[in-house]
Amino acid sequence: MPDDLSPPEKKPGQLLARGVCRHLLGHDFVTVEELTPTSGLRVDVMALGPKSEVWVIECKSSRADFQSDHKWQGYLEWCDRFFWAVDEDFPTDLLPEDTGLIIADAYDAEILRMAPEDKLAPARRKVMVQKFARHAATRWHAARDPDFIPSWGL
């Protein structure tokens, strides 16, 4: 794994997220990372499809990482489909069967089991697309204009 493609500051879960985001673009889903749907919750990857489909993907780098997550069921109400993303060595028997499963590495991923659909109500979908839009635009603004440091922070 060449160093220039995997900067040391990325954690294992973040590397999985990178592979997931790359793969989902091939399904015409755009993504952001670390979005906060509501106070106290932060999803690893949120993906937005061409028809405003909202998927959430939680990336787990190890058994311990999964077992210490006591919040994941709280994510279900913020998306149409919920997936786990894990690497090929992860003991996938641990994962609930009624969730989606993605096998990922830092470079790509593959959907092994499609998550069941539980469609958002229209009002909540509207809120989520708006949150997604503002999250993505804020990050993209900071990236394209790195010299801009507003007094209130970005």
Q: What whole-number distance in Å separates Cα of residue 56 and Cα of residue 31?
A: 10
Shortest CB 75 distance to its own copies, Å = 19
Shortest CB 92 distance to its own copies, Å = 26
Asked whether 16 and 85 are in contact (CB, 8 A), the reply is yes
Contact with its own copies (CB under 8 A) among 52, 95, 99, 113: 52
* Six-digit token string for 30: 């755009």
* Continuous segment of H or E residues that includes residue 63: helix 63-67
Residue 126 interacts with its own copies (CB under 8 A)?
Answer: yes
Residue 114 interacts with its own copies (CB under 8 A)?
Answer: no
Asked whether 107 and 19 are in contact (CB, 8 A), the reply is yes
Contacts with its own copies, residue ranges (CB under 8 A): 4-5, 18, 21-22, 25-26, 30-33, 48, 50, 52, 126, 129-130, 132-134, 136-141, 143-145, 147-148, 150, 152, 154
